[in-house]
Amino acid sequence: MTDETILSLLQATPGWAAQADRAGLDDTGVAQILDEARKLAEAVLDPLAGVADAEHCRIESGRVKTPAGYPETYRRFGADGWICADLDPDFGGMGLPLALHVAASLPFEGAAMPFMMALGSSRAGAHLLAELAPDLRDVWCPRLAAGDWAVTICISEPDAGSDVGRIRTKAVKDGGTWRLSGTKCWISFGDHDMTDRIGHLALARTGTPEEGTRGLSLFLVPNITDDGADNGIRVERIEEKLGLHGSPTCVMRFEDSLGTMIGAPGRGLAQLFTMIELMRLQVGGQGAGIILRCAALARAYAEDRKQGGSPKSPPVPIISHPDVQRQLLAIDAQAAVTTALMFEAAVAVEEGRTDAGMQAYAAFLLPLAKTFCGEGAQEATSATIQVLGGAGYTREWSAERLFRDARICTIYEGTTGMQGQDFLFRRLLKDQGAGLKALGDRMRGELGEGPGIDLLAQFEALSERLAKASASAQLAAADGYLRAGWAAVSACLAQRVAGLGGERAAAADYWLALAPARFGMAEAQVTYALAKG
């Protein structure tokens, strides 16, 4: 998928034009930004990713050492403004619209997703500090944007993963400061050698264990104090993983570490929402970026690899074979709808900052973006290996690395099961269908009628059925409901893409041809759960 196609998908997203106008951007400027991002991905991140996958990260003298080239590349991204491109200029950013930041990040994620994880948490942390920490933001945000400092998100613990209310890390008041003690796990880039200072945005217990999540507060805990002293934060180990070899996943121990509370006590999980929202959107971008990379890789290989044809003639490029064409079309369709979803979600998140209806719509879309861009990446990497055949299974090609890296997308930042429960219990039931109503109004106003609108009507009917079910049946049906939502939303997005014409229309038509079956499978899951419930 070319820069022009990505730009056309962005331009086709309702609300984007107004956001671009407010930022003073025209089509030429946007195209230039996308072109520079693609060039940087090809020239710098592509070779870096292969090196990182081979070298891994390691602990030396108690600190994490990253693969060769990481520190220089991180600082380059900061110096060139890519880390916090959508952050307010007052805090060191460029003030780009969120959707443009997402669009520019797609080639970065497709080229070197493990490296980009460090940038993603620093960017999300900068947004959180800018919004909630007036006493810290003037110091921290510009340095995060410049790539001088970094931020992590520290939530999970050995006995508290998705069950956040069981966090044990304790924060104790010490005069006018707080001291944190406890262990955190699954911390991406919990330590590294890319920046001078690392701040940990950590959830810790200031209330009693019986208070659950209401007893948690949020703290910024730097690895070194303001006067340069060690702050009692240790790396216990780096996890050995299926993929993401270029991203150190750390177990961290805090020992009376000085921290600054962010926001109100007992409101830590709610205060983290800004960061979690952006990081879940980033996971969606990781998946969509990998799918785009796969579409390009599979097509380039199919055009070059020669096999088959008449034995009396030279072999032909495998792209001439109908079954290979089918496989490429399926990857292209996945790329088109997930990219369109990312732009739809990003535009909605930005509009939702001032519009309650769009805020509900954004919250409705985020579980879909996080889940199905991730699942799409798994499908696309597997399909790309299939197109490449035996070559795809070797390390000569990046397909096998992408396959290993993509698997994490449906696990971290909330597993698929957690996303299904969020989608059903919060977005349908707690929000009383506000996001679903916004979807219906938006898509019917744009598309009028068509296959996407037909599936949307079926999804609305399914939502009414499920809202009346017992709680146990709803729990069992949550995954099916999430998949039904994706079938309906993706069909609407495919209908939008089909209207753009050209090769994009062929890919969208393929997606739409399978949409009723996709919805039927999801509806069957829900029906089964309701019958058993």
Q: Do residues 141 and 155 share a domain?
A: no
Q: How many domains does the chain have?
A: 3
Boundary residue ending a domain (112, 134, 149): 149
Per-residue model confidence (pLDDT) at position 175: 83
> Tokens at residue 88, please?
């307010």
Q: Do residues 369 and 478 share a domain?
A: yes
DSSP per-residue codes, 444-483: HHHH-SSHHHHHHHHHHHHHHHHHTS-HHHHHHHHHHHHH
Whether the per-residue pLDDT at 533 is higher than 80: the answer is no
Confidence category of residue 310, pLDDT binned at 50, 70, 90: confident
Query: In 10 A of CB 337, how many CB atoms?
Result: 30
Q: Do residues 122 and 236 share a domain?
A: no
Long-range contacts of 511-516 (CB under 8 A, 24+ apart): 511/333, 511/334, 511/336, 511/337, 512/451, 512/452, 515/451, 515/452, 515/455, 515/487, 515/490, 515/491, 516/451, 516/455
Q: Do residues 60 and 121 share a domain?
A: yes
Question: pTM here?
Answer: 0.96
* pLDDT per residue as tens digits for the range 66-84: 999 999 999 999 999 999 9
Between CA 37 and CA 292 the distance in angstroms is 14
Q: Do residues 350 and 439 share a domain?
A: yes
* Helix intervals (H) in 310-449: 322-351, 356-388, 399-406, 416-421, 434-447
Per-residue model confidence (pLDDT) at position 497: 97
> Tokens at residue 223, please?
């690895």
DSSP per-residue codes, 249-271: EEEEEEEEEEEEEESSTT-HHHH
Domain housing 243: 151-269
State the CATH number of the domain containing residue 221. Answer: 2.40.110.20
Between CA 482 and CA 479 the distance in angstroms is 5
Between CA 429 and CA 512 the distance in angstroms is 29
Between CA 134 and CA 123 the distance in angstroms is 17
Whether the per-residue pLDDT at 48 is higher than 80: the answer is yes
Q: Do residues 201 and 330 share a domain?
A: no
Between CA 471 and CA 533 the distance in angstroms is 8
Per-residue model confidence (pLDDT) at position 159: 87
Boundary residue ending a domain (86, 115, 149): 149
Q: Do residues 421 and 472 share a domain?
A: yes
Percentage of residues in the chain having pLDDT higher than 90: 91
Average pLDDT over residues 267-288: 91
Cα four-point dihedral sign 511, 514, 520, 521:
negative
> Tokens at residue 24, please?
């003073």
Q: Do residues 332 and 471 share a domain?
A: yes
Per-residue model confidence (pLDDT) at position 272: 86
**Locate tokens 């599936």: which residue?**
455
Whether the per-residue pLDDT at 270 is higher than 80: the answer is yes
Per-residue model confidence (pLDDT) at position 165: 85
Average pLDDT over residues 147-156: 96
Most distant CA atoms of the chain, gap in Å? 87
Q: Do residues 60 and 50 share a domain?
A: yes
Between CA 179 and CA 173 the distance in angstroms is 7
State the CATH number of the domain containing residue 443. Answer: 1.20.140.10
Q: Do residues 216 and 193 share a domain?
A: yes
Confidence category of residue 404, pLDDT binned at 50, 70, 90: very high
Per-residue model confidence (pLDDT) at position 258: 97
Phi, psi of 256 (to 5 degrees): 50, 45
Average pLDDT over residues 335-355: 97
Per-residue model confidence (pLDDT) at position 22: 96
Gap between the terminal Cα atoms of the chain: 44
Average pLDDT, the chain: 95
Angle between helices 70-79 and 98-132 (to 10 degrees): 90
Average pLDDT over residues 187-193: 97
Q: Do residues 238 and 325 share a domain?
A: no
Boundary residue ending a domain (269, 296, 325): 269
> In the annotation, is 42 catalytic?
no
* pLDDT per residue as tens digits for the range 422-461: 999 999 999 999 999 999 999 999 999 999 999 999 999 9
Average pLDDT over residues 221-246: 96
State the CATH number of the domain containing residue 18. Answer: 1.10.540.10
Identify the CA nearest to 14 among candidates 486, 441, 310, 389.
Answer: 441
Percentage of residues in the chain having pLDDT higher than 70: 100
Q: Do residues 336 and 428 share a domain?
A: yes
Q: Which one of the listed residues 351, 375, 379, 413 is annotated catalytic?
A: 413
**Locate tokens 């001032």: which residue?**
354
